[in-house]
Chains A and B, each alone.
Chain A
């Protein structure tokens, strides 16, 4: 539904010889562990400032642009690391962090990697290690600007735009066009953030039902309130029912009711939904009267409903009522160049919101965005671009505007100990961390991917301090 305009230009690049501005934060006792740094500064073309403690460092960070922060971690290194990552988020200049610790553990190094910390170095600081890190900061500063595609489709505007022209999305559009003109019930399946609600809205907009589009997020609403949210309640039906409430089924009368994350509904509520779908009437909570309702139902889920049926968590009869037509949405990583179109679309959308003109993307930023796994799909991309739009200053989205987690995935970044091959344990620990990151910390899912028992994984996590 959208077409990019293609052109490539070379934007201004920062000279690799520019002085790197470094803020060293050395704890209460003075510059001790960083003493040699002062001697190396001129030689490494580093402009060095030193802050004795966190409050002073915070003042200096707020007052100027920094490229790099060298922070000495104390006894509570994990907590301090998390604090630093938080403190540097959104700091002017987007400084990278190098954490320094007496004897950095493997767990600390892996956590740092996950948080996007540039490096963890052991104290006393070695000149070569610092020089390598500074070289990485310098190389990151050399980026080429590429123009962002202009989204030209008339439909691609507003919060609910459907953007994309990949073969996977074209298949979706074709099926949408077929179902839109009827009032048939549709089940939309797809991973989190693939745009299920956007598709549902588009089907409604192009459909025959003149009434409103009403969306209910079944995963968001507390279980004990979901029934009254859907069917409404009479005043005094339960504690907190301070007035009569018209439920979403009634609100959607003559239009479309979109039930998002339908698999999150309890079995008893599923039975009530089934009754409403079959008999086309509902009863308010605390009311005895049957109320006729005429709505088109579109349901969505990110779960495998067949599996939920097999496990007895989802009613089979309701599934067949809902899945008259099933639409499967593709993952963002399966949508090829749609990524670039979506970046362009969101850059324009958030540029307008924050009063900025964003028309270019650096080559390094594009590479990072292409290499990311996008577990949260389009919603995650949208968040990343919004965050970047807030901090961008010159119309070009660069790698420094992207979250640390993405920057940590930079390809070609040398391993921590350049030239030294990791031990088997280091490699294993790193891989476990990546898988855990992919599963959002879910041990069961991670064990499944790794092909080991969850107890074995728990033991290894403990062993590696993860």
Chain B
């Protein structure tokens, strides 16, 4: 049975979310479809799922769910016990811990619910550090949910408290969080001010991990602002900070190399860019594999190949990312992969490429993830329709994307969509330009 058919039989209930994940991860392509004319358009919906195999794989999934719920219950009981022993900071830590567990499995809204309970408790304490930690945690999850303005408010509160408590690490993390919130809303000057402030606070100490993270963010900001030389310098500094650091730095290194790859691509150096992405993939593998980051890097590599006209290799890389996203349940990654596959087909002038955007939209609906993902899909779909027929549809999708970006306050994206809408209007009304 095809996944698209199996999906229709599954109601949208929270208790069934792991089953939906299992449905995706156990889906396999039918070889006849793979090599058939439908092969180039194969999406998760067109893969096959076997009820027997699903049943066989249920055990470990249910065990994982039980383990996760048990850990949450345990955290809650610990919070109660701490509260009974008049250890309210301990109770806050336990509740925040539960939120982190939820975040780790991608349940961001649920994580936020835990943090909010923790915050209500922390606000009543004389010791303000638990409150700082909780505010930082909520700020982080808000950004992951695409709620940038809200995230910034939490980080602002964390910063004020950290400074009052002389908590330098808290102040640095809050400043970086504020920088990230500004960065996502394309408020470049604000982002630079916050990162610079965090950098000043960090340079006084010898915290190489934080220093590396800040210079990495500054590198990303430089690139967005078009100062590629400064970006290269900041990324080099970030790499120096992470080199030789133990525990957890491998993933940071992978992120910096990924950014380096994107920078090299922007500089028109596809060779070094590809080498940086490949090395980033090696770092992702070195300690603990992060499938989400792996998928992201592969997508950047695929974009590079796409932009340099190496379509076959681009598609192969996207298909590898797809396989990884499916087996590791990275549904958001799948949305991005199908959007890029649709873009590739658009470049090839292949109208049937619309199936990838439709699949991405279906996944967005099923996932109910950040609205930003939906907006990005509609934007790319609109651009695809501009090239591959359907000017009315192109305009409709672009307008939908603009509406979402506007509601999220992402002005830079609104401008990009408006530019596309203007070009669409110019194409459709030649007389307007002729006058």
Determine if A302 is an interface residue (Cβ-Cβ < 8 Å).
yes
Partner of B41, one of A87, A192, A220: A220
Question: Which residue from chain B places its CB closest to the CB of A387 in the assembled complex?
Answer: B312
New A-B contacts (11) at CB < 8 Å, excluding given A220-B355, A441-B28: A54-B286, A55-B286, A79-B289, A87-B281, A217-B38, A222-B45, A223-B4, A223-B5, A224-B4, A261-B38, A442-B30
Q: Is B285 an interface residue (CB 8 A)?
A: yes
Task: Let me know if B390 is at the binding interface, CB within 8 A.
Answer: yes
13 A-B contacts, Cβ less than 8 Å apart?
A55-B279, A55-B283, A57-B282, A217-B352, A219-B33, A220-B42, A223-B2, A242-B392, A243-B390, A243-B392, A379-B39, A390-B310, A440-B32
Contacts of B30 in A (CB 8 A): 440, 442
| B28 neighbours in A (Cβ, 8 Å) | 441
Given contacts A220-B355, A222-B4, contact A242 B397 (CB under 8 A): yes
Interface pair A86/B320, CB less than 8 Å apart: yes
B32 contacts A192, C-beta separation under 8 Å: yes
A219-B312 CB under 8 A given contacts A55-B282, A55-B283, A57-B282? no
Report the minimal beta-carbon distance from A327 to chain B, rounded to whole angstroms: 16
User: Please, which residue of chain B has its CB at the minimum distance from the CB of A442?
Assistant: B31
**C-alpha spacing A184/B34, complex, angstroms:** 30
The interface of chain A, by Cβ under 8 A from chain B, is: 53-55, 57-59, 61-62, 79-80, 83, 86-87, 90, 191-193, 196-197, 217-225, 240, 242-245, 260-261, 264, 300, 302-303, 375-377, 379-380, 383, 386-387, 390, 439-442
Count of CB-CB pairs between chains A and B under 8 Å:
129
B386-423 contact mask (Cβ, 8 Å, vs A): 1 or 0: 00001011001100000000000000000000000000
Q: What is the minimal beta-carbon distance from B346 to any residue of chain A, in angstroms?
A: 15
Given contacts A55-B286, A217-B352, A222-B4, A193 and B36 within 8 Å (CB-CB) = yes
The interface residues of chain B lying within 8 Å CB-to-CB of A196 are 37
Closest beta carbon of chain A to B242's beta carbon, Å = 11
Q: Given A375-B31, A442-B31, A260–B355 Cβ distance below 8 Å?
A: no
Q: In the complex, which residues 352-369 of chain B have their Cβ closer than 8 Å to any Cβ of chain A?
A: 352, 355, 358-359, 361-362
Tell me, yes or no, whether B332 is within 8 Å of chain A by CB: no
Are A222 and B397 within 8 A (Cβ)? no
Does B37 lie within 8 Å of A222, measured CB to CB?
no
In the complex the two chains form, is A58's CB within 8 Å of B31's CB? no
CA gap between A242 and B289 in the complex, in Å:
42
Q: Which 10 A-B pairs have the closest CB atoms?
A: A440-B31, A219-B38, A376-B35, A243-B392, A220-B41, A242-B396, A192-B36, A54-B282, A192-B35, A62-B275
One digit per residue, 1 when the CB lies within 8 angstroms of any chain A CB and 0 when it does not, for chain B 300-325 equals 00000000001011000000100000
Give Cα A379–Cα B397 distance, bound, in whole angstroms. 34
Task: Tell me whether A62 and B278 are in contact in the complex, defined as CB-CB below 8 angstroms, given that A220-B46, A222-B355, A222-B359 are known contacts.
Answer: yes
Which of A55, A245, A375, A441 touches B390 (beta carbons < 8 Å)?
A245
Asked whether B297 is an interface residue with its Cβ less than 8 Å from the other chain, the reply is no
Contact, CB under 8 Å: B45 / A261: no
Known: A219-B37, A225-B358, A379-B39. Is A390-B4 also a contact (CB below 8 A)?
no
Tell me the bound Cα distance from A86 to B362 in angstroms: 30
Complex Cα distance A58/B301, Å?
15
Contact of A55 (CB < 8 Å), options: B38, B253, B289, B396 = B253
Q: How far is the CA of A350 from the CA of B16 in the complex (A)?
A: 48
Query: Once the chains are docked, how many angstroms separate the CA of A245 from the CA of B283?
Result: 48
Q: Does B29 contact A (CB under 8 A)?
A: yes
Give B31-64 as 1s and 0s: 1 = Cβ < 8 Å from A's Cβ atoms: 1111111111110011000000000000000000
Q: Which residues of B contact A439 (CB under 8 A)?
A: 31
**Interface residues of B, CB < 8 Å — how many?**
46
How many Å from the CB of A70 to the closest CB on chain B?
Answer: 16
Closest to B257 in A: A55
User: Which residues does chain B contribute within 8 Å of A83, judged by CB atoms?
Assistant: 281, 285
Q: Are A242 and B393 in contact (CB under 8 A)?
A: yes
CA distance A376 to B35 in the complex (A): 5
Partner of A390, one of B31, B42, B274, B313: B313
Residue pair A440, B390 in contact (C-beta under 8 Å) = no
Residue of B nearest to A56 (CB): B282
List, in ascending order, chain B residues with CB within 8 A of A440's CB: 29-32, 34
Q: Which residue of B lies closest to A440 (CB)?
A: B31
B45 / chain A contacts, CB cutoff of 8 Å: 222
Min C-beta distance of A4 to chain B, whole Å = 26
Could you tell me the distance between the alpha carbons of A375 and B33 in the complex, rounded to whole angstroms? 11
Task: Tell me which residues across on chain A come within 8 A of B5, comparing CB atoms.
Answer: 223
Do A379 and B35 touch across chains, with their CB atoms under 8 A apart? Answer: yes
Contact between B37 and A217 (Cβ–Cβ < 8 Å)? yes
CB pair B34–A376 under 8 Å, yes or no, is yes
A residues in contact with B278, CB < 8 Å: 58, 61-62, 87
Given contacts A59-B275, A222-B4, contact A390 B312 (CB under 8 A): yes
Nearest-Cβ distance from residue A242 to partner chain B, whole angstroms? 4
Contact with A along B140-159 (1 / 0, CB 8 A): 00000000000000000000
Chain A hits for B279, CB < 8 A: 55, 58-59, 62
Closest to B396 in A: A242
What's the least CB distance linking B61 to chain A, in Å?
18
- Complex: how many Å from CA A427 to CA B64? 37
Is A222 a contact of B362 with CB atoms below 8 Å? Answer: yes
Measured between beta carbons, the chain B residues less than 8 angstroms from A244 are 392
Residue of B nearest to A219 (CB): B38
Task: Determine the distance from Cα of A224 to Cα of B361 in the docked complex, in whole angstroms.
Answer: 13
Contacts of A375 in B (CB 8 A): 31, 35
Cβ of B36 and Cβ of A302 under 8 Å apart?
yes
Q: How far is the CA of A191 from the CA of B31 in the complex (A)?
A: 11
The residue of chain A having its C-beta at the shortest distance from the C-beta of B45 within the complex is A222
